[in-house]
Each structure stands twice: as C-alpha cells, then as structure tokens.
Amino acid sequence: MRRSFSRALLIVVLTGALPGIVIGAQGNADAARVTNPVAASAESVAAGKPIYQRYCATCHGINGEGGSGSDISPPAPDLTDSEWKHGSTDGEIFSVIKNGVPPDLAMEPWGDRIKDTDIWNVVNYVRSLAKKK
C-alpha cells in the first residue's frame, strides 16, 4: 500500500495535478529565442498601456494582478509576480498574447486584432507592472 501511495503521489506531482503547485514554466523554446524589437522606453510603455486596458484588463485586472475567473473560465494569472506558467521571456509573452494558450485557449489569441508592434508595446507595459522587491 505504501508503494502505491508513493507512486500516486509522484504522478500527481509530475503532472502538476495539485492546484497552486508549479513544477516549472511550460514555455515555448522557439518563442523564448525571439528578441523584442521594440525598446522598453517610456514611449513604448505608454503606448502599451491603453492597449492593455482595452484588451487585457478585463481578465487580468487594471493593475495586472489577476482576475477572479468565472464558472466557465479560470482566474487570469497575476502579471506582476514572478510566476509565469507559459514562459517569462519577452518572446514567450508576445507568443501567448498573439497565439493564445492552446489547446484549451483559456487565454484567447489576440494576433488577429492587435498589430505585432502593439503587442510588443503591451509586453513592455506588462514588464513595467512587475512588483518591486
């Protein structure tokens, strides 16, 4: 019985089946290699803010601290902390915004509605929201 319990616990841990436990980022290696072509200037951050507010704040909150979710969608993650389940490089963040998070698309793709340059501005804006330690 002890062996069965140990095996079951290992499966739960490896699959991340326990809520709140992050085994590691599930980033996109190809996207991680993409370099942000838009400098993280004050102008870029300012340009990204209204786009974030229009398309992202409904789920992620006006300050990026996450949303409450609903009966049909999970809570949107906090974008101000250091936990990034789908990768934390600029390229990975860009990819998530542009392509969504398949297969369940809890994060819908915005690439058909937001221009690439504007997505990069949103990436720079989101980076500006990081909590200061």
pLDDT at 122: 97
**pLDDT single digits (tens) 88-127:** 899 999 999 999 987 776 788 999 999 999 999 999 999 9
From the CA atom positions of the chain, what is the Rg in Å?
A: 17
22-128: in CATH 1.10.760.10: yes
Q: What's this model's pTM, rounded to 2 decimal places? A: 0.74
pLDDT at 14: 39
**pLDDT single digits (tens) 1-47:** 545 434 444 443 333 333 333 333 467 788 888 999 999 999 999 99
pLDDT at 7: 45
